Amino acid sequence: MARASFATQKAALDDACTFLRSFTLGRRGFSLKDGALGIQRVNEECERLKKLFATGPHAKQAVIIVASARARVAAAECRLALLGKKR
């Protein structure tokens, strides 16, 4: 069951990161509000993954995945700041 749970949480974070990446890349149809919501969603998924898999066989992989997602959040925050200055 732990394996399925890890796979489920990883998939949820991947979906959130895909959404956030679309905003970061400036894809059509993504607003500032979408960017802020995407950042919040990725942060929530990261915290959930860190909490659930702080120890155990998936702990190392969880840390790597969360670090990668944090970099995506930082990129989206930069884009959000740049777009906010233009207004």
Which tens digits make up the pLDDT trace of 33-49? 999 999 999 999 999 99
The owner of tokens 């970099």 is 71
pLDDT computed for residue 85 by the predictor: 78
With cut-offs at 50, 70 and 90, classify the pLDDT of residue 27. very high
Look at residue 1 and tell me whether its pLDDT is greater than 90. Answer: no
CA pair distance 75, 69, nearest whole angstrom: 10
Burial of 10 (0-12, 13-18, 19+ CB in 10 A): middle
Per the model's pLDDT, the better-predicted residue between 38 and 86 turns out to be: 38
The mean pLDDT of the chain is 92
